């Protein structure tokens, strides 16, 4: 093992002055608890990441909804203003028709002398 390590490190111009391999053998109960602790830490980190992702996704949905609401309000205001202008124009046309009809009837009355 030491020779293999020296060969690999020599390729990158590194040198070994000492090598010690230590193996600690704990009873199964302790090793199992250490593994469980590490798994719980990793799960906590995972759930924290998932929560942050969900918060960011909700913020994006809120921003999008606000934009869509603003567009909807702008469209509603534009439609209302356009309807007002169309109604004004139609009112002017109706008034003009009444005025011309009145003038035509008056002119006809004057020419026919219905007094």
Contact 2, 16 (CB under 8 A): yes
User: pLDDT tens across 91-107, in order?
Assistant: 999 999 999 999 999 88
pTM of the model: 0.51
User: pLDDT tens across 33-62, in order?
Assistant: 988 999 999 999 999 999 999 999 999 999
Q: How confident is the model at residue 24 (pLDDT cuts 50, 70, 90)?
A: confident
């Amino acid at each position: 093992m030491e020779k293999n390590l020296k060969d690999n490190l020599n390729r990158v111009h590194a040198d070994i002055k000492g090598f010690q391999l230590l193996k600690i053998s704990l009873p199964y109960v302790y090793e199992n608890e250490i593994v469980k602790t590490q798994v719980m830490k990793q799960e906590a980190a995972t759930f924290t990441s998932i929560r942050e992702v969900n918060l960011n996704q909700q913020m994006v949905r809120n921003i999008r909804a606000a934009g869509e609401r603003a567009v909807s309000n702008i469209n509603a205001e534009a439609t209302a203003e356009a309807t007002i202008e169309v109604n004004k124009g139609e009112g002017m046309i109706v008034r003009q028709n009444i005025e011309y009809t009145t003038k035509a009837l008056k002119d006809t009355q004057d020419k026919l002398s219905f007094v």
